Chains A and B, each alone.
Chain A
Amino acid sequence: MRQVIQVTSNNRLFGILVPIISVLLGLIAGAIIMMISGHNPIEGYVALWNGAFYDAFTIGETVRRITPLILTGLAIAFAFRTGLFNIGAEGQVIVGWLAAVWVGIAIDAPMIIHLPLAILAGALAGGLWGFIPGLLKAKIGVHEVIVTIMMNYIAMYVSNQIVRSVLTDHSTSTEHIASTASLGSEWLQALTFYSRMHYGILIALFVAVLMWFIIDRTTIGYELKSVGFNKHASKYAGMNVSKNIILSMVISGAFAGLAGAMEGLGTYGNVSVISGFTNLGFDGIAVALLGANNPLGVILAAILFGVLKEGAGEMPSAGVPTELVDIIIALIIFFVASSYIIRWALLRFKKEGK
């Protein structure tokens, strides 16, 4: 029995060590690249650090950047834990953003009703965007990856069209939402020298807890995971396989929709015509991967990526191009994906140490 505990905790240790080592390797590789291209890696990383943590303002901005990443990371992790690959978080973010802002503009109500309603609209829109691929997968077996990719484009063009011709008269961005629908907080802004930090971070953290609770503690999670692992056995056990596939996509979509709502109601306060994807959904895939599809892991991974991306803005001051951060992120993902190698190396190391 003692041995069992030891080994499972060993496995857990591996689970934690692999992402940490990947991150370190990514940063080291980044340093090497900086060196080769004639920059001083220490100056580069100091600039990165300052870009994310220099003062209260940058910290506030870093937090607001982390917020939607947590949510899209959770969205993808949730689907993944139930055997589905939701590439459509991007589109779900866009429709969630649009719906939340729409409600934020169009309705006149006291904050206690207006704000929750706008947030809910974002979640519902994202959920709807997950529902369609879920339905197609459950009923006629179309692979969710293909449908969600296409749904991303539909979301982008539909959203642009609505902004242009429904919400405005051929303008490229909408008016500002009513203050009763805003997540912004004067208190937080004052605290952070008027950064765009907003209450959304609390929502993101709450959703992380929610995901853990649904997946690990409820019969819903038991069914969702079971269907993801083995459809036949789930059917045999009396679960409704189609319903669970759809439900998983809806919940995942709702999480991503919330990420959009955070941007619409918190950071920007409006929605604009976009010429390309926000990338929040795609970055969520990386966040989920690094976070091992675990809510706490997702939060930590989102913090890391948020910091890197926010800090990148300051790197040109050390002469390093911002793109380097994208390279580092890509390398980290590369190392996580090849965790097999790290695991193997660790095992080797341990054996020799004995």
Chain B
Amino acid sequence: MEHVIEMLNIRKEFPGIVANDNITVQLKKGEIHALLGENGAGKSTLMNVLFGLYQPEAGEIRVNGETVKITNPNVANDLGIGMVHQHFMLVEPFTVTQNIILGNEPKGKLGNINIKKAEKEIQEISDRYGLKVDPSAKISDISVGMQQRVEILKTLYRGAEVLIFDEPTAVLTPQEISELIEIMRSLVKEGKSIILITHKLKEIMEVCDRCTVIRKGKGIGTVEVKDTNPDELASLMVGREVNFKTEKKPADPKEVVLHIEELYVQDARKIDLVKGLNLDVRAGEIVGIAGIDGNGQTELIEAITGLRKSRSGKIQLKEKNITNLKPRNVTKSGLGHIPQDRHKYGLVLDYPIGANMVLQTYYQKPYSNVSILNYKEIYNKANELIKEYDVRTPSEYTPARALSGGNQQKAIIGREIDRSPDLLIAAQPTRGLDVGAIEFIHKKLIEERDKGRAILLVSFELDEILDVSDRIAVMFDGKIVASRKPEETNEQELGLLMAGSTTNEAGDSSDIK
């Protein structure tokens, strides 16, 4: 039998929306099959149907040619289908082994759990696929990339032959992404088959054999990756031409809006992670911070936005000293912040998406008057933003939780830009967005720049940094170690600088400020 999985004419409805409308996907044995589509196109939904989390209203699923009914994830497991979700499902205080065997514990003679045996097995699987996971490490102590590999291990331990990856690379650093790609290659070499959801066309071109495109819940078709190119894929999925290179006029920087001087910030363990950082961002320019995760970017942003106290140094927003001000006061002083972790900081997931649109302004007119909320104004504003930023949601009353990841992000971005802050901090603003949405967001950022706003962009995507920034500041070990014009540098040089090679090797860095 050639196809390990066949999903034929699948239909899945949600209140007010048809998430999957007659979609067909066929997975060959030993292939990596990409699933591509805009935010909210219905990719996660389709995979949740395959994994037994949702029941389809119509359609047929065949595993190895046999029609099956996957009523819950256990059935999927038994059929050899494993899923690595975008948001990991791990118990933090448990070890890797404990997490992996959870619900599937190997029993000893007396019904006791045989941890030793499990650890050995896990180590074996880990070695075979090059996962480099320490079975006895605690989840709370390991990196995001490692946690993801634990999720992969979990599916393999349960005997998965087919692995579903839902946007695995969205949360990874470029280094971790290339490791993951290696892992996927060794998985298919061992005869596994993979369905990969990703918005990054580069990844599809690099590892996938075939690609099925979904647009607004409908299956558009399946293409051989070797016969196509990123432009074609993008226009297939969006339904129009997409511009990858963002067009922009040269920047016209004016007065300094954000001025940071000798800033020191500690993390929760009281270790300095920002170590004497200096940085200026001017009105009308986009400064991109390039750096490997863990070099103090998160702490820097938290210090500017008031979420974390700085140990010493000075942060100035326009004329005002905002060092160690409370978040509310920083916001009032003219800050907009697109946070890196949208579920933790960006949204109250249980509130309607409309109520989330006034998260910082609910206490101001016209959204409230003498503490009494004016829902009409709130939802008017929400509707306006939903339209302008193309947030796809059944209605403004839908809980934020029910929106697809990319649409949640668009909602946050709309909210932050709409306050027209003097300084906009955008941390990984396009994480999890489709190419069309990325193009749109980049255009918006540049529009804001041209209106005279100062923009600080933090991103692990060098493409994005190179494409959007007017000036690139490389951050390494808690400091800005170099400053470059995007047209005068390239990925190689930035990569070296980010890894901490001295400025001499990588070229001169005058003009840090």
Residue numbers of A with Cβ under 8 A of B are 1, 3-4, 6-8, 217-223, 225-226, 229-230, 232-240
Contact = CB atoms under 8 A, between A and B. Distances in A.
B350 interface: yes
Nearest to A6: B15
Contacts of A229: 348-351
Contacts of A240: 326, 328
Given A230-B349, A236-B327, A219 B339 contact: no
Interface in B309-357: 326-329, 331-332, 337, 339, 344-351, 355
Interface of B: 15-16, 305, 307, 326-329, 331-332, 337, 339, 344-351, 355, 359-360, 362-363, 368, 371-373, 394-395, 397-398
B404 to A, nearest CB: 17
B339 A236 contact: yes
Given A4-B15, A238-B332, 16 more contacts: A1-B395, A3-B15, A4-B398, A6-B15, A225-B351, A226-B359, A229-B348, A230-B347, A230-B350, A232-B344, A232-B345, A233-B347, A235-B307, A236-B307, A236-B337, A236-B359
A343 to B, nearest CB: 16
Contact of B328 (A7, A8, A218, A239): A239
Contact of A233 (B331, B348, B362): B348
Nearest to B13: A3
**Residue from A4, A225, A240 having most chain B Cβ neighbours under 10 A:** A4
Given A218-B372, A238-B328, A3 B16 contact: yes
6 contacts: A7-B15, A218-B368, A219-B362, A229-B351, A236-B307, A237-B359
B15 A219 contact: no
Contacts of B351: 225-226, 229
Nearest to A239: B328
Nearest to A2: B16
**Residue from B16, B331, B332, B337 having most chain A Cβ neighbours under 10 A:** B16
B307 A218 contact: no
A180 to B, nearest CB: 34
Contacts of B395: 1, 4
**Residue from A6, A225, A234, A237 having most chain B Cβ neighbours under 10 A:** A237
Pick the 5 closest A-B CB pairs, nearest first. Answer: A238-B328, A7-B15, A4-B16, A236-B345, A237-B359
Contacts of B15: 3-4, 6-8
B345 A233 contact: yes
B345 A219 contact: no
Contacts of B372: 217-219
Contacts of A223: 362
Contacts of A219: 362-363, 368, 371-373
Contacts of B337: 236
A233 B394 CA distance: 23
Contacts of A222: 355, 362, 373
A12 to B, nearest CB: 13
Contacts of B16: 1, 3-4, 7
A3 B19 CA distance: 14
B327 A238 contact: yes
Contacts of B347: 230, 233
A67 to B, nearest CB: 28
A265 B33 CA distance: 74
A74 B395 CA distance: 31
A212 to B, nearest CB: 13
Nearest to A237: B359
A8 B396 CA distance: 13
A229 B351 CA distance: 8
B351 to A, nearest CB: 7
Contact of A220 (B328, B371, B397): B371
A220 B346 CA distance: 20
A238 B326 contact: yes
B282 to A, nearest CB: 26
A245 to B, nearest CB: 16
A4 B373 contact: no
Nearest to B364: A219
A220 B371 CA distance: 7
B242 to A, nearest CB: 30
Given A1-B16, A219-B362, A230 B371 contact: no
Contacts of B345: 232-233, 236
